[in-house]
Amino acid sequence: MRKIACLFVIGLFLWMPYIAIATDVPISDATAECIECHSSVHPGIVEGWQQSQHAKVTPQTAMAVNGLARKVSSKQVSDDLLTRAVGCAECHTQRSTAHADTFDHNGYDVHVVVSPKDCAICHAQEADQYSKNIMAHAFNNLAANPVYHLLQNSILGTPEPADEKKGSITIKPPNDATKAEACYYCHGTQLSVKGYETRDTEAAGELEFPIIAGWPNQGVGRINLDGSRGSCSACHTRHTFSIKMARKPYTCKECHTGPDVPAFKVYAASKHGNIFSSMNESWNFDTVPWTIGQDFTAPTCAACHVSLLINTDGEVVAERTHQMNSRLPWRIFGLIYAHPHPKEPDTTTIRNKNGQSLPTAFDGEFAAKYLITEKEMNIRKENMQAVCLSCHAATWVNGQWARFENTIQETNTKTLRATNIMNEIWHLNLADFKWKDTGPAGNPFDEAIEKKWSNTWLIYGNHIRFASAMGCGGDYGVFANGRYDLSKTFMEMADWLKARKRIFIQKGQP
C-alpha cells in the first residue's frame, strides 16, 4: 500500500511540479512577525511568496547543489541567512544603511524597495551580468541623451494653447507622473525619498512610512534607493519569483510588444510561437539547466536570449547570460538605423560623426568606435546560432541568417531614402530642424511630417527586422507595420513635400 501511495506521489511530482508542497523549511523570527500581520493585510503577497522557491528551500540546501543545476551563484552567503527560508525580512531588512528608504517599522529597519544588490547576496553572478546589460542603464540612457529628450518631449508633452496660432506649436514638457507611467514605466524611474507620512493602519494603528518619488516602478533600469540600477522583479515577478514565468514569453511582452519593439507580437505569430502556444502545457519550465527537446520543443524568448541550455547528452549549448545581448550582434530597434551593439551599456557617451549622441549619423554611418567589432559580432552570432542549430541544420540556419542581414541592409537603405526626403524638407524650411555645433536648433521629431518619418524607422523598420529575425514574414514583415506601411509612409512623405512646395513655395507650375 505504501508503495502505491509512493508511486502516486511520484507521479504528482513528475507531472505537477508547480503545486505548492507544505515544507519544513524554518523561517526567521523577523519574517514570522512580518507574516503575522501581512498575511491578512496583503494575502496576495504572502501567498505568492509561499509558492516561491524562497519559501521552500534554504540557501544552504540550494548551495549544496553542484554543477549546472545550481541556482544560487554566490560562492558564500553569510551564516545568518543560510539555514532559513528567504522570507520578508531576509530581503527587506538587508543592507539597511545602504537604502535611503529604510525606516523603523515595528522595531525593524525595513526598506520598501529591494534592489539587485540585495538579490546579489545569493545571486551574485546574475547581478554582475545584469550590470553589463544595456537594460540596467535604461533610465539614464534615455534621460541623459539630448536627442532622445527631444523625442520624449515631442511625444509626452502637451501643446500649449496660446501658441497654436503661431507658425509653430510650443510643447509643454510632461510632468514626472506622466513620464513615470510612460517611457519610464519600462526604462525605470529614479527613486528618491521625499519625506515621511503617517498613516492609520488597520493592523497596528498610526505608523510612519517614507514617501518615495518614482514609486511604484519595476522598470529594468530603475535607479534604486541604494544607488544600484535595475529591478529584478521586472522579469522575476514578485513575490513568487517563478522561473517558469520568467521563461514564458508573456514576461518579455510587458515591455516588448510594440509597436516600437514588436518582439512578442512577432514571436507569437512565428512558427516558434505557434509551437509554444499549442504545446507548452506539456513542457517543463522549472528545470535548471533547460534541456532542448526534452523540456521544451521550441524556444521562448528566454531560451534564445538568456537561459542555460543543454542538449540531451548533457552538453552545454548556451551559457546563461543576464547581459542578454551576449547572443546578439545587431541592435535592430529603437534607433534610426540598425547597427552593431554598443560596446558599453552606458550609451550616453556615444557620439556620431556629427557630435550627436547616436550610434549612427542621420545618413546611417556607424559611430564605429563605440560599437562592437566584427570579431565580437561573430562571437555573438555563433552564440545565437548554437541555439538555432539544436533544431535546424546548418543549411537552414545559414539561409535564415543571410536573409536577416540582407534585411538589415534593406531597411537601413529605405530609412536613408526617407531621411533624404526629410533633409530636403528641413532644407526648404518646411519643417524646423538643424543640427549645429552647439546642438539642435528645433526638434526633428515634433512636427506632423517628422512624425511620419519617425514611423519609418521607429515602427516599420523595427517590425520588418524582427519579422526577419524570428521568421514571420507575411504579417509583421509586410502588412502589419511592415513593408506595406513603410512604402505607404515613404510615398506620403514624398506626396506631402510635393504639395507643400506648391502651397508654400509656389515655384513654377506642375
**Member of 70, 271, 427, 434 binding a copy of itself (CB under 8 A):** 271
What residues from 321 to 380 belong to the interface with a copy of itself (CB under 8 A)? none
What residues from 460 to 479 belong to the interface with a copy of itself (CB under 8 A)? 467-468, 471-475, 477-479
Nearest C-alpha neighbor of 466 from the set 318, 322, 280, 260: 260
Stretch in the footprint of a copy of itself (CB under 8 A) among 83-91, 126-134, 160-168, 221-229: 160-168
**Member of 229, 341, 414, 463 binding a copy of itself (CB under 8 A):** 414
Q: Does 284 bind a copy of itself (CB under 8 A)?
A: no
Nearest C-alpha neighbor of 57 from the set 39, 69, 67, 68: 69
**Three-state DSSP class for 190?**
strand
CB of 165 to a copy of itself, least distance (A): 9
d(CA 349, CA 494): 35
**Member of 117, 229, 248, 339 binding a copy of itself (CB under 8 A):** 248
CB of 342 to a copy of itself, least distance (A): 20
204 φ/ψ angles, rounded to the nearest 5 degrees? -140, 25
Task: Give whichever of 29 and 47 is closer to a copy of itself, judged by the CB atom.
Answer: 47
Nearest C-alpha neighbor of 378 from the set 337, 340, 323, 334: 340
382 C-beta neighbours (distance < 10 Å), count: 12
Q: Does 384 bind a copy of itself (CB under 8 A)?
A: no
What residues from 67 to 126 belong to the interface with a copy of itself (CB under 8 A)? 112
Task: Give whichever of 68 and 245 is closer to a copy of itself, judged by the CB atom.
Answer: 245
What residues from 41 to 60 belong to the interface with a copy of itself (CB under 8 A)? 41-48, 51
CB of 125 to a copy of itself, least distance (A): 24
- CB hemisphere CA count around 255 (13 angstroms): 20
Q: Does 192 bind a copy of itself (CB under 8 A)?
A: no
Which residues on neighbouring strands pair with residue 318, listed in sequence order? 309
Q: Does 6 bind a copy of itself (CB under 8 A)?
A: no
CB of 197 to a copy of itself, least distance (A): 9
Which residues on neighbouring strands pair with residue 233, listed in sequence order? none
**Member of 70, 194, 353, 451 binding a copy of itself (CB under 8 A):** 451
What residues from 225 to 244 belong to the interface with a copy of itself (CB under 8 A)? 237, 240, 242, 244
| Helix or strand (DSSP H, E) at 250 | helix 249-253
Task: Give whichever of 91 and 292 is closer to a copy of itself, judged by the CB atom.
Answer: 292
**Member of 40, 61, 78, 349 binding a copy of itself (CB under 8 A):** 40
Provide the angle, in degrees to the nearest 10, between the axes of the packed helices 29-41 and 43-50: 130
CB of 377 to a copy of itself, least distance (A): 19
CB of 53 to a copy of itself, least distance (A): 14
d(CA 437, CA 448): 26
**Member of 139, 148, 184, 290 binding a copy of itself (CB under 8 A):** 184
**Three-state DSSP class for 168?**
coil
d(CA 358, CA 366): 9
SS3 content of the chain, % helix, strand, coil (to 5): 50, 10, 40
Burial zone of 509 (CB within 10 Å; 0-12 exposed, 13-18 middle, 19+ buried): exposed
CB of 93 to a copy of itself, least distance (A): 15
**Member of 6, 69, 177, 204 binding a copy of itself (CB under 8 A):** 177
